[in-house]
Amino acid sequence: MRLTLETPVTYLTGVGPRRAELLKRLNIFTAGDLLWHIPHRYEDATTVRSINSLRIGDDATVIGTVISTGILPTKKGLRVFQAVVQDASGLIEVAWPGQPWLDRQIKKEDVLLLSGPVRFFHGRQLAPREFVNLGAGADGTTGGRVLSVYGATEGLSVKVIRGLIESHLDALLPLVEEYLPAPMLTAAGVPALREALAAVHRPASVAAALEGRSRLAFEELLFVHLLHRKARQLTRNARDGIRFVNKKALTARFREVLPFTLTKAQVRSIREIVADMCDATRMHRLLQGDVGTGKTVVALFAALLAMENDQQVAFMAPTELLAEQHARTIDRLLAPLGIVPVLLTGSRSAAERRLAATRMEGGEPCLVVGTHALVQVKTAFRALGLAIIDEQHRFGVDQRRALAERGMGPQKPDVLLMSATPIPRSLALTMYGDLDVSLLDERPPGRKPVTTAMRPESARAKVMAFIRAQVEAGRQAYIVYPLVEESEKIALTAATTACEELTSGPLAGLRLALLHGRMAADEKDEVMRRFRDGAIDVLVATTVIEVGIDVPNATVMVVEHPERFGLSQLHQLRGRVGRGAAESFCILLGDVGAEAAERLQVIVRSEDGFEIARADLAIRGMGDLFGERQSGVPTFRIADPLKDEALSDAARIAADRLVDEDPDLARPEHRRIKQVLRRGYGRALELFRVG
Ligand code: ADP
Ligand code: MG
Q: How far is the CA of 444 from the centre of ligand 2 (A)?
A: 14
pLDDT(618) > 70:
no
pLDDT confidence tier of residue 542, bands split at 50, 70 and 90: confident
pLDDT value of position 180: 95
Q: How far is the CA of 325 from the centre of ligand 1 (A)?
A: 13
pLDDT confidence tier of residue 238, bands split at 50, 70 and 90: low
Q: What is the DSSP string of 52-97?
A: GG--TT-EEEEEEEEEEEEEEE-TTS-EEEEEEEEETTEEEEEEEE
- Residue 492 in contact with ligand 1 by CB distance below 6 A: no
pLDDT value of position 386: 96
pLDDT(691) > 50:
no
pLDDT value of position 631: 38
Pick from 385-399, 439-453, 569-583: least confident: 385-399
Pick from 16-25, 255-264, 371-380, 605-614: least confident: 605-614
573 SS3 class: helix
Residue 367 β-bridge partners: 313
Q: Which atom of ligand 1 is nearest to the CA of 291?
A: 4
Q: Which ligand is nearest to the CA of 581?
A: 1
Convert the pLDDT of each residue in 378-409 to its tens digit. 889 999 999 999 977 777 667 777 888 888 88
Angle among Cα 372, 376, 377 to the nearest 5 degrees reads: 120
Length of the chain: 691
- Residue 419 in contact with ligand 1 by CB distance below 6 A: no
pLDDT value of position 626: 41
Convert the pLDDT of each residue in 156-186 to its tens digit. 888 889 889 999 999 999 999 999 999 999 9
- Residue 288 in contact with ligand 1 by CB distance below 6 A: no
For the beta carbon of residue 561, count every other beta carbon within 10 angstroms.
Answer: 18
Q: How far is the CA of 13 from the centre of ligand 2 (A)?
A: 56
Q: How far is the CA of 322 from the centre of ligand 1 (A)?
A: 14
pLDDT value of position 362: 93
- Residue 289 in contact with ligand 1 by CB distance below 6 A: yes
pLDDT(690) > 60:
no
pLDDT value of position 622: 45
**Residue ranges of domains in the chain, CATH in brackets:** 43-149 (2.40.50.140), 251-278+292-419 (3.40.50.300), 451-606 (3.40.50.300)
403 touches 392 (CB < 8 A): no
pLDDT value of position 635: 63
Q: Using most ligand atoms within 8 A of CB, pick from 261, 267, 295, 297 the residue to mutate for ligand 1.
A: 297
Convert the pLDDT of each residue in 318-362 to its tens digit. 888 788 889 989 999 999 999 999 999 888 888 888 999 999 999
- Residue 392 in contact with ligand 1 by CB distance below 6 A: no
Going by alpha carbons, the residue nearest to atom 17 of ligand 1 is 294
- Residue 516 in contact with ligand 1 by CB distance below 6 A: no
305 SS3 class: helix
Q: How far is the CA of 634 from the centre of ligand 2 (A)?
A: 27
593 touches 563 (CB < 8 A): yes
- Residue 420 in contact with ligand 1 by CB distance below 6 A: yes
pLDDT confidence tier of residue 543, bands split at 50, 70 and 90: low
Q: How far is the CA of 433 from the centre of ligand 1 (A)?
A: 28
530 touches 536 (CB < 8 A): yes
DSSP summary character for residue 11 = G
Over range 228-249, report the average pLDDT. 77
Considering the chain, what percentage of its residues have pLDDT values greater than 90?
45
Q: How far is the CA of 348 from the centre of ligand 2 (A)?
A: 22
- CA-to-CA distance for 671 and 41, rounded, in angstroms? 33
Most confident of 63-72, 101-110, 132-141, 572-581: 63-72
- Residue 416 in contact with ligand 1 by CB distance below 6 A: no
- Residue 48 in contact with ligand 1 by CB distance below 6 A: no
Considering the chain, what percentage of its residues have pLDDT values greater than 70?
88
Convert the pLDDT of each residue in 302-323 to its tens digit. 999 999 999 999 999 988 878 8
pLDDT confidence tier of residue 204, bands split at 50, 70 and 90: confident
pLDDT(568) > 70:
yes
- CA-to-CA distance for 7 and 151, rounded, in angstroms? 21
Q: Which ligand is nearest to the CA of 580?
A: 1
Going by alpha carbons, the residue nearest to atom 13 of ligand 1 is 294
Average pLDDT over all residues of the chain = 85
Over range 207-231, report the average pLDDT. 88
pLDDT confidence tier of residue 141, bands split at 50, 70 and 90: low
Q: How far is CA 36 from the centre of its chain?
A: 25
Going by alpha carbons, the residue nearest to atom 20 of ligand 1 is 294
Burial class (CB in 10 A: 0-12, 13-18, 19+), 181: middle
Q: Considering only residues 230 and 419, tell me which one the structure prediction assigns the higher pLDDT.
A: 419
pLDDT value of position 188: 94
Q: Considering only residues 422 and 237, tell me which one the structure prediction assigns the higher pLDDT.
A: 422
Going by alpha carbons, the residue nearest to atom 24 of ligand 1 is 444
pLDDT(155) > 90:
no
- Residue 291 in contact with ligand 1 by CB distance below 6 A: yes
- Residue 262 in contact with ligand 1 by CB distance below 6 A: yes
Q: How far is the CA of 549 from the centre of ligand 2 (A)?
A: 8
Going by alpha carbons, the residue nearest to atom 2 of ligand 1 is 295
The amino acid occupying position 157 is S
pLDDT value of position 235: 61
Over range 483-512, report the average pLDDT. 77
User: 355 Cβ partners below 8 Å, 6+ apart?
Assistant: 342
pLDDT confidence tier of residue 498, bands split at 50, 70 and 90: confident
Q: Which ligand is nearest to the CA of 297?
A: 1
Strands 79-87 and 59-73: antiparallel
- Residue 263 in contact with ligand 1 by CB distance below 6 A: yes
Most confident of 50-54, 75-79, 111-115, 568-572: 50-54
pLDDT value of position 624: 43
Convert the pLDDT of each residue in 515-534 to its tens digit. 887 777 678 878 888 998 99
pLDDT confidence tier of residue 224, bands split at 50, 70 and 90: confident
Pick from 91-105, 133-147, 276-290: least confident: 133-147
pLDDT value of position 270: 98
- Residue 272 in contact with ligand 1 by CB distance below 6 A: no
Residue 586 β-bridge partners: 452, 557
Q: How far is the CA of 293 from the centre of ligand 1 (A)?
A: 6
Going by alpha carbons, the residue nearest to atom 23 of ligand 1 is 262
Over range 51-62, report the average pLDDT. 89
Q: Considering only residues 618 and 138, tell me which one the structure prediction assigns the higher pLDDT.
A: 138
Q: Give the side-chain half-sphere CA count within 13 A for 685.
A: 16
Q: How far is the CA of 291 from the centre of ligand 2 (A)?
A: 7
Over range 179-198, report the average pLDDT. 95
